[in-house]
Amino acid sequence: MEPRRVKEGDIMKYKTGFLSNKWKPYHAVLFSDSKFCWYEKGNRKAKGCILLKDVVPYTCVGLMTDRMPAKRPTLPEGYSVHHVIGIGMDPRAETVHWVLFSSDADIELVCAFLLMCRKWAWSLVAGYWSVD
């Protein structure tokens, strides 16, 4: 069965390049299997995807991004630190995907999804370690 689209909308994602680093607009889709993909405008092929359930422990939201090992990039004019998510790909945050949302409603849905993934991960750990 194909995962369904839970939410989609426009985001800003921090892109590091050879000559410059900048925030770039993308269209993002959050799927029911926790896959978060971003697309360039008008393109059907994903520019990148992350399985959120695999990186929940390395993800920070809003002001908590200041506690990540990687330094949060400067936000573009008109955006709030409360709408940024840092998605670390490993415990050292050697690779971090910085995603910026434009509204509370958009970021709240993603945060609720991350919380659901965290509860799911803990239930797996609890089930694995339980002694019957």
pLDDT per position as a tens digit, 59-74: 888 999 999 999 999 9
What are the strands, taking DSSP E only, across the chain?
A: 5-16, 21-31, 35-39, 48-51, 59-61, 84-88, 96-100
Residue 33: CA atoms inside 13 Å, Cβ hemisphere, count? 9
Q: What is the pLDDT of residue 119?
A: 62
On whether residue 16 sits in a domain, the answer given is yes
For residue 117, the model assigns a pLDDT of 65
**Which CATH number is 123's domain given?**
2.30.29.30
Residue 112 within a domain: yes
Higher per-residue confidence, 74 vs 6? 74
Of the candidates 68, 63, 40, 59, the one whose C-alpha atom is nearest the C-alpha of residue 116 is 59
Residue at 98 is within a domain: yes
Which tens digit of pLDDT belongs to each residue from 13-51? 999 888 889 999 999 998 888 899 999 988 999 999 999
pLDDT in the model for residue 77: 92
Q: Note down the domain range covering 68.
A: 5-127
Measured distance CA(107)–CA(121) in Å, rounded: 21
Q: Please report whether residue 27 resides in a domain.
A: yes
- Specify which of 54-58, 67-71, 118-122 reaches the highest per-range mean pLDDT: 67-71
Number of domains in the chain: 1
